[in-house]
Structure 1
Amino acid sequence: MARPQPNELSLDDSLTSSPPEYYSDQEAVYSPSNSIGYVASVEEKKRLWWRNAVVNMMFIGSWFFFAILLSVYNKWMFSDSHFNFPYPLFVTSLHMIVQFALAALVLNIWPKKFKPDRYPTPEEYGKKAFPTGAATSLDIGLSNLSLKTVSLSFYTMVKSSSLIFVLLFAFLFHLERFSWRLVGVIILICSGVLLMVATETHFVLGGFLLVISASALGGLRWGLTQVLFQNKKMGFSNPASTIFLLSPIMAVTLCTLSIIIESWSKLFGSEFFSGPTRTMQTILLLLAPGVLAFCMVLSEFYIIQRAGMVPMSIAGIAKEVATITVSAWFFGDELTPLNITGVGITICGIVLFTYHKYLKSIQSTVPLDGHGNPILEEEMALNADDAEYSVELDETVRLTSDRGSLEIHPAESESQMLFSAEEELES
């Protein structure tokens, strides 16, 4: 399909030059620059898919990097043989405070890029933001609490069910169109994860209930987060402003859980706060990794905003596969044939999911502006009135520039005139 070239009309020839050509109502769209839009061809959709894939992979790589650093920190911080700080909820709540401060800093340094035009009202904040922040906090809190009663392998096996909950909430919130092919791919990936971490372990009912609840809350969390990104007029227009608005809720919720579960009286009476020097060292070690957490969550939110919650969860499974593979390669962790089979099945599932998303993007209708860039839905909505006005203006140009149309199409001309000669004579 050939691209239409917009006509540049000067003041002198605007009424005499031929009007621009438009596609049908289903194909013609308008860009914010008033260039005529068109529907992308298959080759253009392939080009856009690869361009988006490269950008998404950059954010996923950034997320991998900061998540691995944070995992190493957590292992060092909570390990009995290292720092041995047994208060994970307290640490995570401090990280939320650091994230809030960093997000506020970003909004003030780059207000044009990150500061929203308006913030949610108290009612909107309570209905939209609070459930998202609470679900995130409870997901983190229950996950950390469960690790005190179950092994890491058992935790990973049960937590892999979060993919099922992610898909369920994606369907419920109409974030993904139902597809049996997608359901099959998700089940395949979950099966691979179960085999990948399968070990001889004893079943703990209490720990199982904690992990399965965290998995359900994780699916709800990502679903609500993606819904928030679609409410750009409420202030959740970008990841930085979203962190700024959500982190206070998460900090308060995690602090409350920490007070109930971890007993702050024992915490501040421990050796970690035994003197001024020791206290400053502890505070520094607790707060500094909050920068890593901020960068990790920022990458997470960019992935959700660009790709959605289901690809984000698939990326999380890919991270687990990479972690297990690297551990086996560098640290000599033993993998049974069953584990290796699970890794292979999981990788196949991830490849199939990527192919599924590729097919969807190729088969979808992608509107492009006059420069070949995709037109976002919100841009099309904001410029809908301008597009309607442009069509009316073009019709005016056509009627005024079509000289001699009164003689060639008399019937049509009479219908277009407000008064006819016969009516004047009769009156």
Structure 2
Amino acid sequence: MADRLITLCKDEVLTYAYLLLYIALSSGQIFFNKWVLSSKEINFPYPLGLTLLHMVFSSVICFMLTKVLKILRVEEGMTAEIDFQHKSNEVPIFRYSTSVVPIGAMFAMTLWLGNTAYLYISVAFAQMLKAIMPVAVFVLGVGAGLEIMSCRMLLIMSVISVGVLVASYGEMDINWVGVVYQMGGVVGEALRLIFMEILVKRKGLKLNPISVMYYVSPCSALCLFIPWIFLERPKMEAHGSWNFPPLVLSLNCLCTFALNLSVFLVITHTSALTIRVAGVVKDWVVVLLSALLFADTKLTVINLFGYGIAIMGVAAYNNQKLKKEASRSSSDDSEQGQSVPLTTSSASSK
């Protein structure tokens, strides 16, 4: 009995340690990105290039850990039967293009636009705008047939929307260019989650977060590389010598990968819902700490009041998702805990 109690205590302590690690890394990554992009700090104003570095770094590290060192395992789920149940002899690139490319493209869009928003708006305000995410996911989910419209969900979406509007009204130095970029990132993330939901539910593919990183990161890197050539490379060349601090950017990329790895640890020991709940705590940490760390962050009472309303709606949304997951069979619940839409795949911008 004593041994069992000790084991339970150890497991609980380990779970909380992983959660604290995730919150610390996620918050730290947001501040780190802002610090790198800020003209008053490192002054590397190339969000597209920074995100491209993150994806290339993650691709290389995932390959080294899974295929060379074989420390981590990639689930072999990309089989012909997923997309071509009656055409098993099709070329593999078609399977990858229909299953991974849409997710990778939306992932790239989310990170690119989210990081670009930091050039125009404060970290705190960007975080407040991200609270609208459940609304975007739900609306797109209804359109894709993954969600069912109900009075309860409509009320929850309304609460979140009103909260974000109030928080925006209280913003003292609102920059609409930054708002557009941030909302574009929100739409990209919502589409990514919808594609992940379709991949998991309709095609039956089960991938853990490490497998998602392994498959998606190279695709996202390619999707980012093409616009980088035309949009940011000329600016970097016109600048003369590239402002490229290798040590700082290497540490930034390493933090991004560590954040994704922490997600893997949390989901392995708990569930995807736990990540969402921890994300709410992280959001408040980011909003409050940013006011202390960055001069461009000026919080108002209206800001905080509106954001508080939005977070109440997000909490209600998470509760509904918990009930939905609990209604599934125990076997499905067990599998879903190990293979989920990676909510922090947008770690580069979160």
Calculate the TM-score normalised by the size of structure 1. Answer: 0.59
Distance 1:264 1:59, change over 3 A: farther
CA distance in 1, matches of 2:94, 2:183: 31
SS in 2 for 1:81: coil
1:200 aligned partner: 172
Task: Return 5+ residue gaps in structure 2 as ranges.
Answer: 1-10, 80-91, 338-350
Choose which of 241, 258, 261 in structure 2 pairs with 1:295. Answer: 258
Instruction: State the 1:232 CA deviation.
Output: 8.1
Distance 1:74 1:211, change over 3 A: closer
- Residue identity in the other structure for 1:285: V
2:98 aligned partner: 127
**Mapped contact 2:134–2:317 kept (Cα < 8 A):** no
SS in 2 for 1:289: helix
Instruction: State the 1:357 CA deviation.
Output: 4.2
Choose which of 107, 127, 141 in structure 2 pairs with 1:170. Answer: 141
Choose which of 198, 221, 246 in structure 1 pairs with 2:192. Answer: 221
**Mapped contact 2:77–2:207 kept (Cα < 8 A):** no
1:353 matched to 2:326? The reply is no
1:401 aligned partner: none
Instruction: State the 1:93 CA deviation.
Output: 0.6
Distance 1:170 1:110, change over 3 A: farther
Bigger CA radius of gyration = 1
**Mapped contact 1:114–1:238 kept (Cα < 8 A):** no
**Mapped contact 1:78–1:86 kept (Cα < 8 A):** yes
- Residue identity in the other structure for 1:242: V
- Looking at secondary structure, tell me which structure has more helix per residue: 2
Distance 1:212 1:365, change over 3 A: closer
Distance 1:242 1:110, change over 3 A: farther
SS in 1 for 2:100: helix
CA distance in 2, matches of 1:265, 1:336: 36
Choose which of 132, 141, 151 in structure 2 pairs with 1:161. Answer: 132
Task: Return 5+ residue gaps in structure 1 as ranges.
Answer: 1-51, 274-278, 379-427
Distance 1:61 1:257, change over 3 A: farther
1:32 aligned partner: none
1:344 matched to 2:293? The reply is no
Instruction: State the 1:359 CA deviation.
Output: 4.5
**Mapped contact 1:321–1:343 kept (Cα < 8 A):** no
CA distance in 2, matches of 1:317, 1:169: 22
CA distance in 2, matches of 1:57, 1:227: 31
Identity of aligned residues (%): 23
2:46 aligned partner: 87
CA distance in 1, matches of 2:329, 2:14: 18
Instruction: State the 1:256 CA deviation.
Output: 1.8
Choose which of 242, 258, 270 in structure 1 pairs with 2:228. Answer: 258
- Within 5 Å, give how 1:1-400 maps onto structure 2: 61-108=20-67, 114-117=73-76, 119-120=78-79, 121-149=92-120, 155-156=126-127, 158-197=129-168, 198-201=170-173, 204=176, 207-230=178-201, 237-264=207-234, 266-267=236-237, 270-272=240-242, 282-300=245-263, 316-327=279-290, 335-360=299-324, 364=327, 366-367=329-330, 376=335
Instruction: State the 1:215 CA deviation.
Output: 2.3
Calculate the TM-score normalised by the size of structure 2. Answer: 0.71
CA distance in 1, matches of 2:24, 2:182: 25
1:393 aligned partner: none
SS in 2 for 1:114: coil
**Mapped contact 1:303–1:312 kept (Cα < 8 A):** yes
Post-superposition Cα deviations, 1:380-402, rounded to whole Å, max 9, x if no partner, equal xxxxxxxxxxxxxxxxxxxxxxx
Distance 1:335 1:179, change over 3 A: same
CA distance in 1, matches of 2:157, 2:16: 20
CA distance in 2, matches of 1:247, 1:152: 25
CA distance in 1, matches of 2:312, 2:321: 14
Post-superposition Cα deviations, 1:117-136, rounded to whole Å, max 9, x if no partner, equal 35452111111111111111
Distance 1:226 1:85, change over 3 A: same
CA distance in 1, matches of 2:16, 2:139: 25
Instruction: State the 1:238 CA deviation.
Output: 1.6
RMSD: 4.1
**Mapped contact 1:231–1:237 kept (Cα < 8 A):** no
1:44 aligned partner: none
- Residue identity in the other structure for 2:33: N
CA distance in 2, matches of 1:374, 1:266: 48
- Residue identity in the other structure for 1:200: M
Post-superposition Cα deviations, 1:366-386, rounded to whole Å, max 9, x if no partner, equal 447xxxx976589xxxxxxxx
**Mapped contact 1:89–1:258 kept (Cα < 8 A):** yes
